Amino acid sequence: MKVLHKVSDLKAELKAQRLANKSVGLVPTMGALHAGHASLVSRSLAENDVTVVSIFVNPTQFNDKNDLAKYPRTLENDCLLLENILNIFVDKELIAFAPTVEEVYPEPDTRQFSYPPTDEVMEGGFRPGHFNGVCQVVSKLFMMTEPDRAYFGEKDFQQIAVIRRMVEDQKFPLQICACPIVREEDGLALSSRNALLSPDERKIALNISQALFASQHYAKSHTLKETKQWVIDTINAVEGLEVQYYEIVDGNSLQSLNEWDDSDYVVGCITVFCGAIPVRLIDNIKYKSC
């Protein structure tokens, strides 16, 4: 596995691969890799000749400096995890691309991306500028890598919808591949932020996925509005958890729904603060899939 830090080295490497007619998959990450990321990397390795995994904590998508400062950074372990995956795909190539902030942003990125209403609700509402930062870094990674396919996790459900809009808007000639959420055995959605939870907070956090799963049954005999309120009340009743929002939305437009029958693709998206120094956890559940 090659570990590259410079955009020029990445471009040179990929140019050679392209000349040899190799297909390229891109997996953008912020590092602190876990089995959720590994599922994206494995899929890319299976579907492409060359996979680029970017490891970059992107400052422009953090609207909270403290959140950015405490985000885990574990490059050495990340490379070990990637080497282990590559061992299963012996005939494939894997490049870890871990640039510095100066390398990605030699000058401030003043581009504005706006995809209303998809980027205005939920995460867009509570984290102003977040999706603009995501689009800035993802579009830069697309331009550096020119991948055939790019892989994103449904854990960040809204992010995929926004990126699909950006790909359409900027006419990037690539395919967006959405990968299902990977969970711990007990149901907690894997997240780099889980490393910030104390053992007690980790136990408490489990109530989030449990409430979401239980709500799939509750939904069968209750209205959408009752189900939404039930999830919020059930989680808020747990000491140490505080729901920031829970919205039941159309899975394509991300707009809130009033009735189950308003869409064929219905997804509940939640953000919860967990613990004394709150860790912000997100999760989602499908009530109807298309």
Enzyme catalytic residues: 37
Among the candidate windows 62-70, 85-93, 183-191, 240-248, which touches ligand AMP by CB under 6 A?
183-191
145 near ligand AMP (CB under 6 A): no
123 near ligand AMP (CB under 6 A): no
User: Shortest gap between Cβ of 179 and ligand AMP (angstroms)?
Assistant: 6
User: Shortest gap between Cβ of 79 and ligand AMP (angstroms)?
Assistant: 15
Q: Which residue sits closest to ligand AMP, CB atoms considered?
A: 153
Site for ligand AMP in 53-112 (CB under 6 A): none
User: 278 with 144: CB under 8 angstroms?
Assistant: no
The 10 Å CB-count burial string (b at 16+, else e) for 125-142 is eebeebbbbbbbbbbbbb
User: Shortest gap between Cβ of 226 and ligand AMP (angstroms)?
Assistant: 28
Nearer to ligand AMP by Cβ, of 4 and 162: the residue is 162
Instruction: Report the candidate in 25, 31, 38, 40 with the shortest Cα–Cα distance to residue 78.
Output: 31
Q: Which two tokens stand for residue 1?
A: 């596995």
d(CA 230, CA 235): 9
122 near ligand AMP (CB under 6 A): no
Q: Is residue 180 classed exposed, middle or buried when 0-12, 13-18 and 19+ CB atoms within 10 A define those classes?
A: exposed
Nearer to ligand AMP by Cβ, of 149 and 228: the residue is 149
29: part of which helix (H) or strand (E)? strand 24-29
Positions that interact with ligand AMP (CB under 6 A)? 29-30, 36-37, 39-40, 152-153, 155-156, 179, 181-182, 189-192
